Structure 1
Amino acid sequence: MASKQKKDRKSNLLVVTGAAAFLAVAIKFAIDAVAAHHKNCKRRKDIPGSAVRANLSAAEILRLADRIIAKSKQVHDAVASVPLDKVTYANTILPLAELEAWQFPLVQSCVFPKLVSTFEDVRKASAETERRIDAHVSTCRKQEDVYRPIKAFAARGEWMNFESKRYTQCLVRDFESNGLSLTLTKREELHRLRAQIDDLSRRYIRNLNDDNASLLFNETELAGLPPEFLKSLDKAENGKFKVSLRGHHVSPVLEFCKVGLTRRRVAVAYGRRCEGNLSILESLVELRHKFARLLGYTNYADYAIGNRMASSSTKVFEFLEDLSASLSDLATRELNVLKDYKKKEEGDSPFGIEDLLYYVKRIEEQQLNLHFGDLKQYLPVSLVISGILKICQDLFGLRFDEIVDAEVWHSDVHLYSVHDLSSGELLGYFYLDMFSREGKYGHTCVVALQNGSFVNGVRKIPVALLISQLQKEVGGHTRLLRFSEVVNLFHEFGHVVHHICNRASFARFSGLRLDPDFVEIPAQLLENWCYESAPLKLISGFHQDITKPIKDETCEALKRWRCSFSALKLKQEILYCLFDLIIHSTENVDMVGLFKHLHPKVMLGLPMLEGTNPASCFHRTAIGYEAACYSRIWSEVFAADVFVSKFRDDLSNQFVGMQFRNKVLSPGGAKDPVELLSDFLGREPSVQAFIDSKLEYGL
């Protein structure tokens, strides 16, 4: 990934210290020689310490899945056969821990090809295998004969150590979330409710995905939109432009269209899509509450949040309310600036929520002098990647080496080993699959391929995969990154470093299988380096002369842009988080009435757009994030606390970086996240640093 140009490869990449200009020159070496070496060398299949199979055929995937399931059945049957008065750690808990450590990289070897393989039959076999393994795991977690010995051991309280206690409690929770602590009648009711919830969730999402509504506008009504956008629109028979109610059309209209009535029409139509979804969501929430009560919770929010860092719906509600109140003064100043600007441009027409994006954009263009098209000329992909690796090396005491003869699934893919910079110990590996191609997963993400563990004297080291969707350069031109892509890469490298540095004993607590409130904090922490002058200069260089980094005034403009109108934007997100939390913590809520009440309360008097019904087109309440929409803000706030308190004054302080690595990254999920952050910060995490950072660059 550190050299992702068309055929560019770098052998044995060592990210070196030194000035940005020296680094920029140093990364341009041996391209042709290394490319020739890659072409002629044999691919090495044995990567020491890795059980990941990088390039399985469809038949091999199916055979490996059979082996995984057979082994899993064998272990679960052995645990089930242990008499309840004979249970020990060695015969009940340890076999399951060993099974997880053994099977995780093999399961991932079967599953991840569906995301990246160039062969359709491999992707199909991978998807089918994932369904089979998921079904098997679901069956295992409903086995009462396996649950009983685990529960009996847990009741004894004979823990090897705190981590084994935590692991046993997680096993018990897995079974009990499937109703194993309930009577048979209640258990059957729980499974019936879960099936109904899944079905309604799919219907809600399908309705949104199938909605093809659009609006027609003439060219005057779309004044201000870029010509290339207008050219991309279909036209109706009457010659008008067809604007679909999809994000890729709605966002440009709300951001660029000068005509207030057009913005309002689009915003209203977008907010009233799929009105039938309201009744689906009402039924969904009712079923979720019934599901939670069967498991002993007061409401669904407490069920969803109870085992997360936030710990309770009450704590989340207080967090969101306090954060919103703390931002109100700044948000009010921001809103007044926008209102004044609209009055100058459009007269006395009232400012509405549909005007927010447009006037934020106009003011940013005037005040910041920041042109992202020009900035892109300073962000060649090879330099950005090399700079990220150097930052991680200096900060966390790591060394990165490319394994040039590794077996991979595509010629664009690179494999790196990661060693401790001081001791030379091998810590793990990560693959980089950076460029888009047909059949590949369409989003940027990190996939854990092998979780670190140390079970029964056997250590497994972490292996990760970073997938991105960068476009390849055309005609020999250097591939340049948009700034948003740079931020995404820093974020994902935060996940890679977190995964590689993990030293938890159990695979369950390793990698990215962590508390969702906590797992994003290291990734969001690393994003901060994108907005500071020294790292920005390190990762940048004009594509025709990479010894020339971006200018100081651009660095400062980026920092101000990050905080531009951030209080208003965050309040809008808090609004949806509060809505999500309230409907999942209270019975029989009038959803339309609730949103009408919350909108002006949170958004400083701005009313909800008349005729809209956000509950009918709110993806995250339907599936995946229900009662947990707050989590992104939660992790952003505490990442800001870590950055401001420990890193901002010295961005390359390896002493602090190693403390973060050892106290926060290494334990993984083996300890409570609040305990990890408190140990690192020397106090409990706070929202104040986040608020202060907004006020510092606010209006």
Structure 2
Amino acid sequence: MSHRQRHPTIKSNAIFRCPSTHIFPPFLAFGAFGLRRNKRMGKEEEGKKKGRRMLALTGAAALVAVAINLLFTALNAHKSKNQNKKKPKAGVLGLTVHVNLSASEILKLADRVIAKSKDVHDYVASIPLDKVTYTNVILTLAELEAQQFPLVQSCVFQKMVGLSDDVRKASAEAERRIDAHLLICSKREDVYRVIKAFAAKGEWMNAENKHYVNCLVRDFERNGMNLTLSKREEVERLRTQIDELSMRYIQNLNEDNTTIIFSESELAGLPREFIKGLDKAENGKVKVTLRSHHITPILEHCKVGSTRKTVAVAQGQRCGEVNLSILENLVQLRHKLARLLGYSNYADYVVEPRMARTSAKVFEFLEEVSIRLTDLATRELNVLKDLKRKEEGVSSFGIEDLLYYIRRAEEQDFDLDLGVVKQYFPVSLVLSGIFKIFQDLFGLRFEEIEEAEVWHNDVRLFSALDFSTSERLGYFYLDIYSRKGKYGHTCVVALQNGCISSNGARQIPVALITSQLPKQIDGNPGLMRFSEVVNLFHEFSHVVHHICNCASFARFSGLRVEADFVEIPGKLLENWCYESIPLKMMSGFHQDITKPVTDEMCRLLKRRRDSFSGLKLKQEILLCYFDEIIHSSENVDMVELLKHLHPKIMLGIPLLEGSNPASCFSRLAIGYEAACYSHIWSEVFAADIFASKFQDDLLNQYVGLQFKKKVLAPGGSKDPMEILFDFLGRKPSVQAYVEHKTRNSI
């Protein structure tokens, strides 16, 4: 575990969500303060901003309203800016985050945050053990976190969205300083002793209070504070070695410049533009790197089986012996660390604070899913084998053939041009549809805050209110349009956590969703790929999750839930992107927005998502098994393990001779070690919720409100299994997931 995850009081880590297909960048936290316009806008820009204001809409008026909205955009483009508008005050809105700090202000604020945190920790540490109370220990630390979290976020969120190099560099430096402070806090035995003394008294006010105290104790003890000084020093030494080896593994992959030389005939089937973009070699040949933007197109499109095999073997040999040796050392060090901290193995150490709780539960889960998918995957593999025999005249089917023949089968089974599909998803229309779906489903109303202070003219601030009571639940910033220097993926950041202060007032949550979507240019709307639509919808679910939080402690606010639970709402709500009614609410042909995607397009998009899902999941399960085995067992021969697992899980398909994928599984080095299972885990439980509660009525507000109340509102204050049992009325099951895949796959 990285030191970014250690101390419970400031908690600047992990309040950042991005699509599960991406590796999470390290420690990111963000902020915003005040609400006044940061730059003077011209008349035309102001008119556009007013015209694109999002309306809270219900019923069948959605599409008409979108059309009217776009019409107002054109009509208002040249209106004068209203000079008499008052800029809302930050205090009135309940925001304590800062959005427009200069580079020097960022660093000064970081230093003040650190100084304040040190003072509070010193105070708590000074309390005699026989004088500890809830107020002077637990409440003091809880309020420190609640007050400082938005300030910490303010220091470092500009690293992602800042407009200048100076600001982004200052943000990164602030992150480094706060990180170093958190590391020191995590080693404060004096603070741990005081918290432990209060815990020993057992004076719990309620279940959430008890859970909070137990989490404080657990965090310290997972960092070795209950060990002797010599053992704590050994823990730190092991952590340092683990961090160094992890970074070396990733660095080796990043610096690998291996190329393979092919003639153009050996790349038959690939688009002409792709081949033209390759570097030239001698004798008219071209160079292929082992980067994904070269490897994936070849494995998907190249007609030459020997080329696909050469590329697949080379990919499996990346950084070969050197990274395999690093991974072996990493696993040994992780096991030593886990045993030192009182765990039988590293997998149990990683899984303990997660929803699964034990590695045994993970193995049980993977085994059940894998077995139940075997019949489906076998049928799918037989289809691909038949295709290969017809096309290449050979019966042997290898892992290098998988992507190519899946694509060929999909081409034969259905005709779906994603370029045409893209024409139906203008950014503004997609966003309007997403707003309407979430408002209708969860009983919300979104209102844009005019004249808000933002860091760029494209950024917009919205408040989220309860539709029936008009209670303000929180705020969210939209920074979705492409610009230089921004973080490249769609993701959500918690800027301010919801909680209840000691005086009973509620601090409302604030979130940021950022992306790199195309803007409208010269009257031509920015268009979204369908995958971008799904990502934006998924990430907006995290915004709503954060805003609907009702936990008392900032620590449990919104996205502060178990790491294998946080993606379940997003994976659940992705289903709306594959159903006809919501898809039509988000779509409209860019030249005539009254024409949404057709029913046939909806059907094919759904089939495309589920095609050959058994085989695809078997591949993922293979990695999960490998990950969990090496992190729960000692002295595993990784090469032999893969040779054994590959044909067993992949229905007889052997590991490619000479390849060793363990040398290039970046997720095993940093970020997902002993936790690769969590992606499938989230999908399985999300499928169960969808099938049992939403499938027959996608916009059933009664069920949506129950989901908001029972699943989203608790945040991290309750055990996730208890949350799901409360909503489903039973334990979650894998059955719905398997039935869905079996029913919808080719």
Distance in 2 (CA, whole Å) between partners of 1:341 and 1:5 is 57
Using the TM superposition, give the Cα deviation of residue 24 of structure 1 relative to its aligned residue in structure 2, in angstroms. 3.6
Alignment counterpart, residue 681 of structure 1, candidates 702, 725, 728: 728
Say which SS state the counterpart of residue 91 (structure 1) adopts: helix
What's the secondary structure of 1:467's corresponding residue? strand
Decide whether the 8 Å contact of 2:146 with 2:499 is kept in 1: yes
Q: Which residue of 2 aligns with 1:396?
A: 442
Contact 1:225 1:253 in 2 (8 A): yes
Unaligned 5+ segments in structure 1 are none
Alignment of 1:656-675 (within 5 A): 656-675=703-722
Q: In structure 2, do the counterparts of structure 1 residues 658 and 221 end up closer, same or farther at CA, with 3 Å as the change threshold?
A: same
Secondary structure at 2:203's aligned position in 1? coil
Secondary structure at the counterpart of residue 450 of structure 2: coil
Written as runs of structure 1 = structure 2, the 5 A alignment for 1:403-418 is 403-418=449-464
User: Counterparts in 2 of 1:8-407, with a 5 A limit?
Assistant: 9-11=51-53, 13-19=55-61, 21-31=63-73, 33=76, 44=88, 46=90, 48-275=93-320, 276-407=322-453
Cα separation, 1, equivalents of 2:289 and 2:47: 36
How much does 1:11 deviate?
2.9
Cα distance between partner residues in 2 of 1:251 and 1:39: 52
Evaluate the alpha carbon distance shift between residue 39 and residue 591 of structure 1 in structure 2; reply closer, same or farther with a 3 A threshold.
farther
Unaligned runs of at least 5 residues, structure 2: 1-44
Distance 2:457 2:682 in 1: 36
Q: Secondary structure of the equivalent of 2:70?
A: coil
> 1:452 and 1:230 mapped to 2: Cα distance?
52
Question: Over residues 405-460 of structure 1, what are the superposed CA-to-partner deviations in whole Å (9 max), with x where a residue is unaligned?
Answer: 11111111111110001100000011111122221111211000001001311311
Give distance in 2, aligned partners of 1:410 and 1:240: 47
Question: Shift in Å at residue 43 of structure 1?
Answer: 5.7
Cα distance, 1:138 vs. partner? 1.3
Give secondary structure in 1 for the equivalent of 2:494: strand
- Residues 1:434 and 2:480 are matched in the alignment: yes
Output one character per residue of 1:240-294: Cα deviation in whole Å (capped at 9) or x when no partner.
1211100011000011111111111111101100011000000000000000001
Match of 1:628 among 675, 689, 703: 675
Q: Distance in 2 between matches of 1:109 and 1:404?
A: 21
Structure 1 residue 506, shift from structure 2 partner: 0.4
- On the 8 A contact 2:437/2:699 being kept in 1, the answer is yes
The offset of 1:28, in angstroms, is 1.5
Aligned to 1:695: 742
* CA-to-aligned-CA distance 1:106-130 (integer Å, 9 cap, x gap): 1001110010011111111110001
**Structure 2 SS opposite 1:580:** helix
- Cα distance in 2 between the residues matched to 1:512 and 1:156: 30
Distance in 2 between the 1:508 and 1:240 partners? 57
- 1:19 and 1:567, CA in 2 relative to 1: closer, same or farther beyond 3 A? farther
| % identical aligned pairs | 68
For 1:242 and 1:7, the matched residues in 2 are separated by 47
d(CA) in 1 for partners of 2:211 and 2:359?
23
Q: Is the 8 A contact 1:285 1:584 kept in 2?
A: yes
Letter in 1 for 2:434: I
Residue 530 (str. 1) matches residue 577 (str. 2): yes
Displacement of 1:296 after TM fit?
0.5
Counterpart in the other structure of 1:594: 641
Partner of 1:605: 652
> Which residue does 1:502 correspond to in 2?
549
TM-score normalised per structure 1 = 0.97
CA separation of 1:431/1:243 partners in 2, compared to 1, >3 Å: closer, same or farther?
Answer: same
* Counterpart residue number, 1:470: 517
Could you tell me which amino acid in structure 2 is paired with residue 94 of structure 1? L
SS across alignment from 1:159: coil
The structural deviation recorded for 1:16 is 3.7
CA distance in 1 between counterparts of 2:272 and 2:253 reads 29
Q: Which residue of 1 aligns with 2:40?
A: none
Post-superposition CA distance 1:5-30 (Å, at most 9, x none): 99565236323431554244233142
* Partner-residue secondary structure (3-state), 2:282: coil
- Tell me which residue corresponds to 1:520: 567
Partner AA of 1:573 in structure 2: E
Matched residue type, 1:375: V
Question: Aligned equivalents of 1:17 and 1:232: distance in 2?
Answer: 49
CA distance in 2, matches of 1:569, 1:473: 37
TM-superposed deviation, 1:165:
0.7
Equivalent AA in structure 1 for residue 329 of structure 2: S
Counterpart for residue 33 of structure 2: none
8 A Cα contact 2:54 2:432, kept in partner: no
Question: In the aligned structure 1, how far is the partner of 2:122 from the partner of 2:168?
Answer: 31
**Does the residue aligned with 2:476 lie in a helix, a strand or coil?**
strand
State the distance in 2 between where 1:363 and 1:283 align: 42
Give, as a single letter, the amino acid of the residue that structure 2 aligns with 1:105: P
CA distance in 1, matches of 2:340, 2:680: 30
Q: Which amino acid aligns with 1:93?
A: I
1:152-183 C-alpha deviation (Å, 9 max, x unpaired): 00111111111111111111122112211001
Indicate conservation of the 8 Å contact 2:62/2:585, yes or no: yes
Deviations 1:629-670 (A, max 9, x none): 000110111011111110010000000000000000000000
Task: Please tell me whether the aligned partners of residues 47 and 81 of structure 2 are also in contact (alpha carbons under 8 angstroms).
Answer: no
Counterpart-to-counterpart distance in 2, 1:59 and 1:44: 26
Q: Report the alpha carbon displacement of residue 45 of structure 1 after superposing the two structures with TM.
A: 5.5
Distance 1:174 1:609 in 2: 42
Q: Is the 8 A contact 1:45 1:407 kept in 2?
A: no
Please tell me the residue identity of whatever aligns with 1:425: E
Partner SS state of residue 92, structure 1:
helix
8 Å contact from structure 1 (residues 5, 472) kept in 2? no
Distance (Å, rounded) in 2 between the aligned partners of 1:155 and 1:37: 66
Distance 1:385 1:519 in 2: 23
Structure 1, residues 581-625: CA drift from partner, whole Å, max 9, x if none? 000000000000000000000000000111111111100110111
Instruction: Note the C-alpha offset of 1:524.
Output: 0.8
What one-letter code is carried by the residue in structure 2 that aligns with 1:512?
Answer: L
C-alpha distance in 2 between matches for 1:17 and 1:97: 43
Other-structure match for 2:28: none
**The one of 550, 554, 557 aligned to 2:601:** 554
Q: CA deviation at 1:140?
A: 1.0
Contact 1:38 1:405 in 2 (8 A): no
Structure 2 CA distance for aligned equivalents of residues 15 and 264 of structure 1: 54
State the 1:555 CA deviation.
0.9
TM-superposition CA deviations, 1:325-366 (whole Å, max 9, x none) = 000000000000000001000001511111111111111112
Moved more, 672-681 or 68-77: 68-77
Whole-angstrom distance in 1 between the partners of 2:725 and 2:65: 36
Mapped partners of 1:217, 1:5: distance in 2: 54
Per-residue deviation, 1:39: 8.7
Secondary structure class of the residue paired with 2:463: strand
Q: Is the 8 A contact 1:24 1:547 kept in 2?
A: no
The residue that corresponds to 2:16 in the other structure is none
Q: For this pair of structures, how many residues does the alignment match? A: 696
Residue 505 of structure 2 corresponds to which residue in structure 1? 458
User: Which amino acid in structure 1 is aligned with residue 704 of structure 2?
Assistant: G
In terms of mean alpha carbon deviation, does 264-273 or 454-463 score higher? 454-463
| 2:52 counterpart letter in structure 1 | K
**Are the aligned partners of 1:197 and 1:288 in contact in 2 as well (CA < 8 Å)?**
yes
TM-score normalised by L of structure 2: 0.91
CA RMSD of aligned residues (A): 1.6
Distance apart, 1:44 and its partner CA = 4.7
Q: How far, CA to CA, are the matches of 1:535 and 1:621 in structure 2?
A: 37
